[in-house]
Structure 1
Amino acid sequence: MVTAITEGIKISVVTIYQEEYSNPDKEHYMFAYQITIENLTDYTIQLMRRQWFIFDSNGSRREVEGEGVVGLQPVINPGDTYSYVSGCNLSSDIGTMSGNYQMYRSADESSFLVDIPEFELIVPYRLN
């Protein structure tokens, strides 16, 4: 698990290789990742946008951005957590992802960025 805290918001990431959805012979590797967002502040926040930077060890880089996560813009109260699972495909068996969330704090009507720590996407046999 990889974890980072930015402005009182804790982001934790766990990844899982999806062998049943992958096809190494066609250079298709599927990974799932679970993100847990924990609000350690005294303020209610809302996740408005996300931005991902995806690096594939074959040299390709992608940037993905958009509203919310998995179709939602969750509100997270003080002390609460929000978790979701999503996925990423690579054309090689090793890669990384990192990024940020744009959060909105209603108490002072401000927006701020929360770092998503870099995490690895590695097919398990590469770890031996």
Structure 2
Amino acid sequence: MHTRAVMDELKQYNVEVDVAPTYLDHESDPDNGRYVFSYTVTIRNVGEVAVRLISRHWVITDANGEEREVRGEGVVGEQPHLSPGKGFRYTSGAMIETPVGSMRGSYEMLADDGVSFVAEIQPFTLAMPNTLH
């Protein structure tokens, strides 16, 4: 999954976000409706101005349509500062009550020149292996 936030035609403020989810069989308990996933996020500043990730917002949805929102400062306890051409990678996790679900979200970014913008993260699928064709 790959998404890009572009703030103007000059692409001064441009962040790419890639997400790779993984099902964690050893932490899941399907008999009790516990499906655990990790997801590795790579954030790249492909713009012209350095930026800092200020906060995150995730919406986690299971196959029953149950939504859970997560908001907080930074990611994994950090507010990474990304110079042009630099990136940051982290891994986190989510739990849902069904074998399939999805996540979507956004990062609030603040450029060094004081401009704030939102980097949208397009929906991606959380799926236990062999549940989707």
Q: TM-score range by the shorter chain?
A: over 0.9
**Which of 34, 43, 52 is equivalent to 1:46?**
52
Deviation digits for residues 10-38 of structure 1 (CA, Å, limit 9, x no counterpart): 00010100000000000000000000001
Match of 1:111 in 2: 116
Counting only pairs closer than 5 Å after superposition, residues 12-27 of structure 1 correspond to structure 2 as: 12-27=18-33
TM-score by length of 2: 0.92
The residue that corresponds to 1:124 in the other structure is: 129
**Equivalent residue of 2:119, what SS?**
strand
Deviation for aligned residue 1:66: 0.8
2:63 is aligned with 1:64: no
> What TM-score, normalized by structure 1, do the two folds share?
0.96
Report what 1:35 is aligned to: 41
Q: Which runs of 4+ in 1 moved over 2 A?
A: none
Aligned length: 126
Q: How far does the alpha carbon of each residue in 1:98-121 deviate from its partner, in whole angstroms, 9 at most, with x for none?
A: 0100000012x1211001111000
Structure 1 gaps, min length 5:
none
Residue 84 of structure 2 is aligned to residue 85 of structure 1: no
Please, what is the CA RMSD of the aligned residues?
0.8
Aligned-partner Cα distance in 1 for 2:123–2:38: 15
CA distance in 2, matches of 1:39, 1:106: 12
